[in-house]
A and B are shown apart, each in its own frame.
Chain A
Amino acid sequence: MAEEQNNTTMVVFSGDLDKAIASFIIANGAAAMGDKVTMFFTFWGLNILRKENVQTPKKKAFMEKMFGKMMPQGPDKLGLSKMNMGGMGAKMMKKVMKEKNISTLPELMEMAKGLGVNIVACTMSMDVLGIDKDELIDGIDYGGVATYLGEAYDAKVNLFI
């Protein structure tokens, strides 16, 4: 079988619920097509990977604590990029998607892990936002711009979300 391995890479910059769902649907689809998939999470995108109500035992600076409190903790706490209406929009969207039998973001994330999608958290952004490894979900990798580019050079599909 002359099946070449193709890569799909994604930079997930946004921490919006709708964009996170879109990125994980594409990631799962690409993995199902047989691609090696790498998702690089940076800036607000890191919030998608946060665990709920988990605080690192490490000491944080004042600004880091503020960031940690103000930013959404994990996939269930994200808002919509449009029509969020203080979280009402996100609730309504989740309700509609459930009725239409569409997988939730946490389900899509589990599915992606099961299909071997490589999830990479940007360590520089983690440092800026004061997010510690303890506060992110398990089973992910850590890296910087070269980690992402190294995969992106070999990819035929490369997205910035």
Chain B
Amino acid sequence: MKTDVVVDAKGLACPMPLVRAKKEMDRLNSGEVMKLISTDPGSVNDFASWAKRANHEILDQQEEDGVYTFYVKKG
């Protein structure tokens, strides 16, 4: 998938992945896509809740060996 920015939040604990994602998202234009990588199990629900709240769209998400990857389109 074409991504405009990659946010690597591996190893970071709550609320850091969210804060990192928000800061990078502020720099994107509407419609651009962020690839988000996290190892915090809570981030699955956290990013869903954040995307809903901030009007972003989660295009795809994967889990592999405890690493979560999300593709989020800016709303």
A residues within 8 Å of B by Cβ? 1-3, 25, 28-29, 31-34, 100-103, 111, 115
Contact = CB atoms under 8 A, between A and B. Distances in A.
B75 A103 contact: no
Contacts of A34: 22, 53-54
27 contacts: A1-B55, A3-B54, A3-B55, A3-B75, A25-B14, A28-B15, A28-B19, A29-B18, A31-B19, A31-B22, A32-B15, A32-B18, A32-B19, A33-B18, A33-B22, A33-B54, A34-B22, A34-B54, A100-B13, A101-B13, A102-B13, A102-B14, A103-B13, A103-B15, A103-B16, A111-B19, A115-B19
A2 B21 CA distance: 21
Interface string B48-75: 0110011100000000000000000001
Contacts of B22: 31-34, 115
B41 interface: no
B30 interface: yes
B8 to A, nearest CB: 14
A101 B11 contact: yes
A2 B49 CA distance: 17
B12 interface: yes
Among all A-B residue pairs, the 10 with the closest Cβ atoms:
A32-B22, A102-B13, A32-B18, A29-B15, A28-B15, A33-B53, A34-B54, A32-B19, A25-B15, A101-B13
A4 B50 CA distance: 14
Given A32-B18, A32-B19, A111-B19, A101 B12 contact: yes
Nearest to A107: B16
A121 to B, nearest CB: 23
A100 B30 CA distance: 35
Contacts of B19: 28-29, 31-32, 111, 115
A1 B30 contact: yes
B73 to A, nearest CB: 13
A102 B19 CA distance: 13
